A = this chain, B = another copy of it.
Amino acid sequence: MNPFRSNVLAESSSQHMKPPVDTKDRILDVAEQIFAEKGYSATSMRTITTRANVNLAAVNYHFGSKAQLYQAVFQRRVAPMNKQRIEMLDAMEKKAAGQPLPLEAILRSFIEPALRASLNPKQGGTNFIQLLGRTHAEPGPEVHDFLPLLYEKVKDRYRTALAKTLPDLSQEELSWRVHFVIGTIAFTLAGTDALEMIESCRYCDPADIEGIIQRLLPFLVGGLSAPAAIKLTSI
């Protein structure tokens, strides 16, 4: 379809120079940015198509509906990112030869692909990272119905890796901890709340994802490796 994407011969045989990005990709790029900024339901297709300089009808033509557009925007980045995560984890485990991996290494394999994406505009950059965080907190079935399917493999894979490293935690407890980790990361990356912090934290740049992750890592390692039981009393 797009001569710039796959086939060099097709490119030279096409009669008119196309714009550097075709309609479908322009829509995806712009939608990524606006969805990340305003969330799903506060974003209108009119805003997207206007800013992308495409016709209003183009979204329905190419993606079917607003919900399917959101899904396409999200999948485009998450699928390769999750693939990277699993590959990193696999490579590490192969090297470790049966030994349980250190917590920090497991977390790194989870976070680094996201960090890489945040630093590379061709992988969505900070727009995608904010979208990633926001998506986990989106209400409404349009966004959530496809999320579990996308994350099923990754969650299972990390649960088993963590189970080896943290044998004292029950499966149930481990599930919750994974949930907490994802939640902390998602919330932090969504960055909605981070603005509150700036005044009290003079040198924190909320767009400095790498810096944020360096603060995040020890927190997560500490949380994951905590002992299991504390009982709430006297309520």
A binding-site residues for B, Cβ under 8 Å: 37-42, 104, 108, 112, 115-116, 134, 136-140, 144, 147-148, 151, 155, 159, 171-173, 175-177, 179-180, 182-184, 186-188, 190, 192-197, 200-204, 210, 212-232, 235
CB pair A221 B226 closer than 8 Å: yes
The interface residues of chain B lying within 8 Å CB-to-CB of A200 are: 155, 159, 171, 175
Q: Across the two chains, which residue of chain B brings its CB closest to A148?
A: B196
User: How many angstroms from the CA of A115 to the CA of B172 in the assembled complex?
Assistant: 21
Partner of A218, one of B155, B197, B221, B230: B230
Check B134–A137 contact: CB distance below 8 A: yes
Contact status B214-A218, CB under 8 Å: no
> 25 A-B pairs, CB-CB below 8 angstroms?
A39-B140, A104-B230, A108-B232, A112-B235, A134-B139, A137-B190, A138-B192, A171-B200, A171-B201, A173-B215, A176-B215, A179-B194, A180-B219, A183-B187, A183-B188, A184-B187, A214-B232, A218-B230, A219-B223, A220-B223, A221-B230, A222-B222, A222-B226, A223-B223, A223-B226
In whole angstroms, what is the CA distance A228 to B217 when docked?
9
> How far in angstroms is the closest Cβ of chain B from A14?
39
Q: Is A187's CB under 8 angstroms from B136's CB?
A: yes
Residues in B neighbouring A177, C-beta threshold 8 A: 215, 219
A226 touching B230 by the CB < 8 A rule? Answer: no
A39 in contact with B41 (CB, 8 Å): yes
